[in-house]
């Protein structure tokens, strides 16, 4: 006697699959093929034409189709319900079997990971004990020799938080800035959206950095001297350029690989101006300005990280700066003592970019999974994780907080921007830049957060905040790829780097 492979009962109209050889009730297998297109037992592709009826005697004439008002019609409806229940039960059994397999695999992985961690902890303790014995035998007391080069100490990733004095300084800065920001409005003479729409190309600064390998990778403008431009390049050099005199003020060497980021520390308290840079060579360097000679001299080298340094920001206190790295950690360092004050624990993903909240309490770190991790600087705790609903693997190259601190701008893909509302932790808007646009840098203007900007292989795009209207779009004249940008303090000029050039767009001459 035959039994149906789905219901487990003797079939009334048996058919056999020519591919798997299994016997089924015709109505059940036809419904399954219609919905899934595969054999329910083997998973192979199966069509109705692959079914062969099993003929048996005595032959019987099939009854005529009953009407819906007859008892046979009711029985037929009940039969259809039963068939649906049987098919659903079969699908549930399959899912249950798959879930059991996944659970077994997860338990095995967890057990293996626990064993590995226990073994590593044991080996670490043995090594520490052996080192202590050797030091005791030799009469050596461990001490840290003073040095301008800052190395990552063993166990730095186990640091639980910031020193109390640093936390107090961050809190004080936060209270001051947040109180003033709530009352502050954009200056009366600040550039309007209509004026941004009228931007024209004003100047092109050419032949910056070496021609081999060529290319500006990072740039920033001075806030105290609007004509000063700081750039980093593929040639491993950091340059300070004065646009008012058309001269290179300083050409700083020391890195052994391309420069990823540059920054300026300009303090209102009279502290010397500092130039900061981060590189693919896993280091960050600081140069200090000597007021007497007018030169910039090397001040300190930070070798805190074991991977490319992918993010660099100066904290609003002006006494701290932060780094992000592909080694899956971020760190904070003092600009007063030039020492590392904190290094985070190792995360699951490497960090690809770094942004800081205007009040100095939050860090935004980009990852290769199109997700942004928001950390509280004071406690090193994860405050939020932001990711598009249907995020594909994508390394976020840049992130920028709005000046009012309520929004965070970051690419959600190579050719799209997302503006995240930090009050609801939801995306306020996603802006499609069009096919072929590859975002390299995004940034809000520094004075009002009225404009958000993106640059990349598709040129420059400027949008108005809140209504998301495109205000301006600029295309490269010589097919160069734009890599970085910065707004001046009044929003009247946009400086954009690409190749060995920096182009300046601004208000047309009166």
Whether residue 328 lies inside any domain: the answer is yes
Residue 65 has pLDDT above 60, yes or no: no
Kindly give, in sequence order, each residue whose CB lies less than 8 Å from that of residue 508, ignoring residues fewer than 6 positions away: 198, 199, 200
pLDDT-based confidence at residue 461 (cuts at 50, 70, 90): very high
The pairing of strands 149-151 and 296-303 is: parallel
| Per-residue tokens: 80 | 């259809």
Check which CATH number belongs to the domain holding 482 and give it: 2.130.10.10
Residue 398 has pLDDT above 70, yes or no: yes
Write down the pLDDT at residue 457. 86
pLDDT-based confidence at residue 156 (cuts at 50, 70, 90): very low
Q: Which residue has the higher pLDDT, 314 or 74?
A: 314
% of residues, the chain, pLDDT over 90: 57
Do 366 and 351 contact (CB within 8 A), yes or no? yes
Task: Give the tens place of pLDDT for each residue, 104-147.
Answer: 989 989 989 999 999 898 888 888 877 776 666 555 445 444 44
Mean predicted confidence (pLDDT) in 421-426: 90
Whether residue 107 lies inside any domain: the answer is no
Number of domains the chain contains: 1
Residue 58 has pLDDT above 70, yes or no: no
Secondary structure (3-state) at 281? coil
Write down the pLDDT at residue 152. 47
pLDDT-based confidence at residue 151 (cuts at 50, 70, 90): low
Write down the pLDDT at residue 136. 61
Mean predicted confidence (pLDDT) in 206-234: 92
Write down the pLDDT at residue 61. 47
The dihedral formed by the CA atoms of 206, 212, 217 and 221, expressed in degrees to the nearest 10? -40
Secondary structure (3-state) at 296? strand
Domain hosting residue 200, numbered range: 151-506
Report the first-to-last Cα separation within the chain, whole angstroms. 97
Cis ω for the linkage preceding 149 (within 30 of 0): no
Write down the pLDDT at residue 138. 54
Whether residue 128 lies inside any domain: the answer is no
Whether residue 22 lies inside any domain: the answer is no
DSSP element (H, E) containing 113: helix 71-138
pLDDT-based confidence at residue 183 (cuts at 50, 70, 90): low
How far is 458 from 225, CA to CA, in rounded Å?
30
Whether residue 32 lies inside any domain: the answer is no
Q: How many CB atoms lie within 10 A of CB 280?
A: 19
Whether residue 401 lies inside any domain: the answer is yes
Tokens 């910065």 belong to residue:
486
368: closest CA among 346, 352, 387? 352
Residue 177 has pLDDT above 90, yes or no: no
Whether residue 376 lies inside any domain: the answer is yes
Write down the pLDDT at residue 397. 95
How far is 440 from 438, CA to CA, in rounded Å?
6
Whether residue 133 lies inside any domain: the answer is no
Mean predicted confidence (pLDDT) in 483-495: 93
pTM for this predicted structure? 0.68
463: closest CA among 495, 488, 430, 414? 430
In degrees and rounded to multiples of 5, residue 71 shows phi and psi of -60, -45
Do 270 and 279 contact (CB within 8 A), yes or no? no
How far is 42 from 46, CA to CA, in rounded Å?
10
Q: How far is CA 84 from CA 27, 29, 449, in A?
A: 11, 11, 58
Write down the pLDDT at residue 124. 87
């Amino acid at each position: 006697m035959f039994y149906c492979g789905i219901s487990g009962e003797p079939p009334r109209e048996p058919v056999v699959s020519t591919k798997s050889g299994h016997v089924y009730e015709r109505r059940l297998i036809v419904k399954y093929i219609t919905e899934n297109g595969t054999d329910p037992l083997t998973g192979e592709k199966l069509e109705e034409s692959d079914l062969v009826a099993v003929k048996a005697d005595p032959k019987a004439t099939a009854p005529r189709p009953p009407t819906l008002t007859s008892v046979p019609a009711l029985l037929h409806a009940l039969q259809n319900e039963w068939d649906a229940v049987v098919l659903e039960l079969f699908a549930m059994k399959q899912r249950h079997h798959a879930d059991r397999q996944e659970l077994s695999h997860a338990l095995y992985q967890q057990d293996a990971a626990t064993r590995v961690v226990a073994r590593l902890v044991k080996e670490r303790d043995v090594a520490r004990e052996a080192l202590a014995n050797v030091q005791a035998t030799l009469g050596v007391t461990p001490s840290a020799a003073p040095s301008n080069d800052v190395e990552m100490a063993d166990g730095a990733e186990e640091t639980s938080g910031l020193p109390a004095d640093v936390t107090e300084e961050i809190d004080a800065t936060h209270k001051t800035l947040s109180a003033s920001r709530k009352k502050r409005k954009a200056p009366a003479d600040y550039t309007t959206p209509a004026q941004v729409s009228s931007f024209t190309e004003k100047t092109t600064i050419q032949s910056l950095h070496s021609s081999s390998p060529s290319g500006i990778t990072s740039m920033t403008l001075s806030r105290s001297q609007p004509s000063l431009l700081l750039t980093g390049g593929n040639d491993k050099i950091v340059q300070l350029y004065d646009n008012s005199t058309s001269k290179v003020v300083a050409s700083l060497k020391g890195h052994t690989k391309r420069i990823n980021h540059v920054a300026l520390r300009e303090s209102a308290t009279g502290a010397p101006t500092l130039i900061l840079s981060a590189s693919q060579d896993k280091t960050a360097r600081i140069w200090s300005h000597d007021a007497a000679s007018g030169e910039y001299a090397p001040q300190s080298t930070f070798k805190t990280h074991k991977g490319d340094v992918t993010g660099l920001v100066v904290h609003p206190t002006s006494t701290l700066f932060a780094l992000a790295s592909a080694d899956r950690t971020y760190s904070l360092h003092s600009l007063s003592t030039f020492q590392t004050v904190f290094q985070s624990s190792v995360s699951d993903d490497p960090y690809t970019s770094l942004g800081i909240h205007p009040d100095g309490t939050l860090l935004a770190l980009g990852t290769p999974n199109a997700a942004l991790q928001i950390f509280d600087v004071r406690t090193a705790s994860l405050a939020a994780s932001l990711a598009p609903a249907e995020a594909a693997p994508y390394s976020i190259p840049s992130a920028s907080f709005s000046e009012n601190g309520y929004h965070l701008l970051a690419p959600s893909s190579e050719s799209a921007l997302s503006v995240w509302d930090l009050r609801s932790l939801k995306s306020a808007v996603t802006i499609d830049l069009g096919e072929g646009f590859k975002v390299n840098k995004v940034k809000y203007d520094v004075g009002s957060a009225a404009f958000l900007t993106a640059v990349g292989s598709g040129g420059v795009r400027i949008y108005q905040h809140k209504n998301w209207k495109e205000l301006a779009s600029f295309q490269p004249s010589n097919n160069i790829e734009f890599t970085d940008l910065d707004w001046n303090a009044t929003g009247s000029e946009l400086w954009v780097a690409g190749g060995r050039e920096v182009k300046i767009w601004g208000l047309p001459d009166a």
